Amino acid sequence: MVLRSSSGAPYGGAYVRIYDAAGVRVLGTLCEKSWLLLHLPAGDYHVIAVDRNKNRQVKPFHVSAEGQKEIQLRWPKEQIGY
């Protein structure tokens, strides 16, 4: 998972929660860096990431049996300043 500004700059400092298809939280962590490496079983998920200014990004994603490549969360430049 990659956290970025819409300008493409790395963006860290968000609390990340990942939920499975049943709505059960499978991860909740503070991600201080712009990368979060995960090893999830195949299935459907969604992520909610909230930064220090309470700006929120939500994105559904699917992990196949072969694995997921990369999930990008992008905060608007207008919200974070860069």
CATH dotted code for 2-75: 2.60.40.10
Task: Note the pLDDT of residue 4.
Answer: 96
Task: Note the pLDDT of residue 56.
Answer: 96
The sign of the dihedral angle between the CA atoms of 52, 15, 29, 33 is: negative
Do the beta carbons of residue 18 and residue 26 sit within 8 Å?
yes
Residue 71: pLDDT over 80: yes
Global confidence as pTM: 0.89
Between CA 76 and CA 82 the distance in angstroms is: 9
Do the beta carbons of residue 36 and residue 45 sit within 8 Å?
no
Do the beta carbons of residue 3 and residue 38 sit within 8 Å?
no
Of 80, 25, 69, give the one whose Cα is nearest residue 47: 25
pLDDT over 70, % of the chain: 100
